[in-house]
Structure 1
Amino acid sequence: MKRVAVASRSLRELGYDPDEQALEVLFHNGSLYRYEQVPAEVVQALLEADSMGRYLNQVFKACDFPYRRLD
């Protein structure tokens, strides 16, 4: 999955596959996670959030998206 750099203190890169509804998140500390069943509108809201790290932490935990660490 192709990832792009984002302007965030916590997140370095994001990649999204709309067909699979899968989001990959590379953190500045080098950790890489893949979140499943993530609707495109949630990804758009993440990109538009004042704090992407806070949004990811709060919304993704509340929605309980399945995820796994890739690295």
Structure 2
Amino acid sequence: MKRTPVDSSNLASVGYDATNQTLEIEFQNRSIYQYFEVPEDMYNELMQADSHGSYFNGYIRGAFMYRKVSR
């Protein structure tokens, strides 16, 4: 999945597959996780948030099924 770099102390890059509603997050420690059944509007809000890390922690972490895919 293609990810876009973000300016964040916690997140390094973010990708999204709209067909499968899968959000992929690469963290600054280089670990990569996929979050499932994430609505596209939440991805858009994450990308437009003043703080990507705060949005992730407030709305995505703990709210969706996920799996670690790397590191």
Shared fold (TM-score greater than 0.5)? yes
What do residues 15-40 of structure 1 show as CA deviations (whole Å, max 9, x unaligned)?
A: 10000000100011111100000111
Counterpart residue number, 2:42: 42
Q: What is the total number of aligned residue pairs between the two structures? A: 70
Question: Structure 2 length as normaliser, TM-score?
Answer: 0.90
Question: Structure 1 length as normaliser, TM-score?
Answer: 0.90
Map 1:1-71 to 2 at 5 A: 1-61=1-61, 64-71=63-70
| Shift, 1:10, TM fit | 1.1
Structure 1 residues 61 and 6: CA distance shift in structure 2, 3 A? closer
Q: Secondary structure at the match of 1:19?
A: coil
Q: Which amino acid in structure 1 is aligned with residue 64 of structure 2?
A: F
Runs of 4+ in structure 1 over 2 Å off: none
Q: Which amino acid in structure 1 is aligned with residue 60 of structure 2?
A: F
Structure 2 residue ranges without an equivalent (≥5): none
Q: Which has the higher strand share?
A: 2
Distance in 2 (alpha carbons) for counterparts of 1:18 and 1:41: 10
Structure 1 residue ranges without an equivalent (≥5): none
